[in-house]
Chain A
Amino acid sequence: MNDTSTPPIIEVGHVNKWFGDFQVLRDINLDVRRGECVVICGPSGSGKSTLIRCINRLETHDEGTVRVNGIELKAGERHTKSLGSSVGMVFQDFNLFPHMTVMENLTLAPMRNLKVSKSDALVLGARYLDRVHIGDQADKYPAQLSGGQQQRVAIARSLCMKPEILLFDEPTSALDPEMIREVLDVMSEVAEEGITMVCVSHEMGFAKKAADKVIFMDHGEIVERGDPDVIFHNPQHERTRAFLDQILHYEATA
């Protein structure tokens, strides 16, 4: 899956970012290659979400370089236009459009942005709904679905734009425990198809199964990075170990 000969699709170099006086990102360096699946974990407030939001320009960085899909994103500048639809995002709380049916949620962006005809958009939408295993829910409104189903719709909605990179911002933390699995399964399937993925997630099972690389962040900096097996079973850093202890302890008792 890793192709080291091509340049990385996401290059983050020496990135710093502040919220007022508080530094959320400290000298972040990160390369993601085409087709790679990277999982970022770390305690809350460690800057994970901010980092991926800098990649699709929901946030801007203050210093350093961010290059996505060959396009240089300048510090302090929001210019989503040049990124176009190449970067998709799945949010923690789904952010489906409540006034539209599932199918309308899926077809809106392809029709408006990729200028896909309505009939083609419907075909496209139906295909991706099938891929997330809820082909029968097309005409329902988001509020009529369970959390897990809503998140799968959100994934399908992003896929409809045929993005090169798909970002996940804690996609399972707003879900009831019994629904987490169905979402993670879909995410694993998407990863296998070779789309570039960057996921902020604490789901170790998913990371072990799908991730090519795991990154541990704390206090705005990348503490440790490497193969999932190494990070989870033989972490080199004290902070990583402490964090994993907490998670494992929690998972064992929960």
Chain B
Amino acid sequence: MALAPHPRASRYKFSWLDVILLVALAAVGTWIWFRSSIGIAYDWNWTEAFETINTPDRDGGTPYFYTGVIATLRLSLWSAMIATMLGVLIGLGRRSGISSIRVVCSSYIQMIRNMPPLVFIFIFYFFISNQLIPLLGLENLLRASTDDQSYVSGILFGPARLWENLLSGVLCISFIGGAYIAEIVRAGIGAIPRGQWEAAESLGLKKLDRYRFVIFPQAFARIVPPLTGQYISLVKDSSIVSLISIQELTFVGTEIANSSGLIFETWIFVGLVYFLLCLVLSLGLRFVERRVTMHFHMAA
């Protein structure tokens, strides 16, 4: 197989390889079609699937499927914010002058990054349901007092009866995402050449000023690209909290698939929605990323 000399080489040639790939692709496609329509005789019913998805709920409100999509977005948004704060704190903690803070932060990062997310979620769920919920008596109070929920809080936090549910999901995803973001922050700051620290120090800048004016602005440009990637991962990772009954897109998908029996169509729909969400998000974030790092590239 001939390797292109450069990743962006534009010398496309239609070769035997293309023919083989096209034939193979057609063969696989035909085989799958054959197996599904003749082998197991699945009765595809896209019209009904569409109707199911677009059916409003009992009170004529937003269809269940769309509440799932919105819930996933809401979950991702809050998780991204909390995970970023957590990640910055832990990432900075890894550079702390106090060695016990460093040890705590690095063990946290190590542990989360090396543990299956599913196992973490189950352990976390057990803690949440047994310990954190009782501590949230405060929230019950809050909930009772906000019977007439405002439109804004409805958009931001969803229906009040699911606040605890949302909070569990957000904390869960944030704790996982935070460890990955911490590593990104640490690496971004660590990549600043030593001479920059020394120059800032020998100009007599105070520690806070060194970070604020010299280190952070440079680290920022290095942190943003991997960080946007992490946000997309966060949207994807949010799907596993469906396993602890957090009501988001995957959870909703499971319920619709089970109740309607349109298993194939529902899961393909859910997959498509995630794909579009992530694709739009990555295009949008790429735009932001370019805006943010443009100045830096010009300078360096």
Direct contact of A and B (CB under 8 A): yes
Chain A: residues with CB nearer than 8 A to chain B?
56, 58, 80, 83-85, 87-89, 91, 93, 95-100, 108-109, 112-113, 141-143, 154, 157-158, 161, 167
List B residues 216-232 near A (Cβ within 8 Å): 217-218, 221
Task: Tell me the nearest residue of chain A to B204, going by C-beta.
Answer: A85
Question: In the complex the two chains form, is A93's CB within 8 Å of B203's CB?
Answer: no
Question: In the complex the two chains form, is B202's CB within 8 Å of A87's CB?
Answer: yes
Q: Would you give the 0/1 interface string for B26-46, flagging 1 where the beta carbon is closer than 8 Å to chain A?
A: 000000000000000000000
What's the minimum C-beta distance from A243 to chain B, rounded to whole angstroms? Answer: 27
Question: In the complex the two chains form, is A98's CB within 8 Å of B195's CB?
Answer: no
Question: In the complex the two chains form, is A112's CB within 8 Å of B205's CB?
Answer: yes
**Of B55-63, B153-161, B268-276, B292-300, which stretch is located at the interface?**
B292-300
In-complex Cβ contact of B195 among A84, A93, A108, A161 (8 A): A93
C-alpha spacing A92/B204, complex, angstroms: 19
**Across-interface contacts of B204 in A (CB, < 8 A):** 80, 83-85, 109, 113, 161
20 A–B contact pairs at CB < 8 A?
A56-B202, A58-B201, A80-B201, A80-B204, A83-B204, A85-B203, A95-B195, A95-B196, A96-B199, A97-B199, A97-B200, A98-B300, A99-B217, A100-B213, A108-B203, A108-B214, A112-B205, A113-B209, A141-B300, A158-B202
**Across-interface contacts of A100 in B (CB, < 8 A):** 213, 299
Chain B: residues with CB nearer than 8 A to chain A?
193, 195-196, 198-206, 209, 213-214, 217-218, 221, 295-296, 298-300
A-B contact count (CB 8 A): 74
Question: In the complex the two chains form, is A91's CB within 8 Å of B205's CB?
Answer: no
**Across-interface contacts of A93 in B (CB, < 8 A):** 195
Question: In the complex the two chains form, is A91's CB within 8 Å of B299's CB?
Answer: no
Question: In the complex the two chains form, is B296's CB within 8 Å of A161's CB?
Answer: no
Question: In the complex the two chains form, is B214's CB within 8 Å of A141's CB?
Answer: no
Chain B interface main SS type: helix
Question: In the complex the two chains form, is A112's CB within 8 Å of B214's CB?
Answer: no
C-alpha spacing A176/B230, complex, angstroms: 42
Question: In the complex the two chains form, is B195's CB within 8 Å of A109's CB?
Answer: no
**Across-interface contacts of B296 in A (CB, < 8 A):** 98-99
**Across-interface contacts of B298 in A (CB, < 8 A):** 141
What's the minimum C-beta distance from B298 to chain A, rounded to whole angstroms? Answer: 7
Q: A91-B198, A93-B195 are in contact. Are A98 and B299 (CB under 8 A)?
A: yes
In-complex Cβ contact of B199 among A91, A99, A113, A141 (8 A): A91
Q: A84-B204, A85-B204, A109-B205 are in contact. Are A95 and B199 (CB under 8 A)?
A: yes
In-complex Cβ contact of A58 among B198, B205, B209 (8 A): B198
Task: Tell me the nearest residue of chain A to B201, going by C-beta.
Answer: A80
**Across-interface contacts of A87 in B (CB, < 8 A):** 202
Question: In the complex the two chains form, is B202's CB within 8 Å of A88's CB?
Answer: yes
What's the minimum C-beta distance from B288 to chain A, rounded to whole angstroms? Answer: 18
C-alpha spacing A91/B296, complex, angstroms: 23
Question: In the complex the two chains form, is B299's CB within 8 Å of A99's CB?
Answer: yes
Task: Tell me the nearest residue of chain B to A142, going by C-beta.
Answer: B299
Q: List the 8 closest pairs (A to B, CB-CB), nearest first.
A: A95-B199, A95-B195, A85-B204, A89-B202, A109-B203, A141-B299, A98-B300, A99-B217
What's the minimum C-beta distance from B191 to chain A, rounded to whole angstroms? Answer: 13
Q: Which of A80, A91, A99 has the most CB of B within 10 A?
A: A99
What's the minimum C-beta distance from A75 to chain B, rounded to whole angstroms? Answer: 19
Task: Tell me the nearest residue of chain A to B198, going by C-beta.
Answer: A58
In-complex Cβ contact of B205 among A95, A96, A108 (8 A): A108
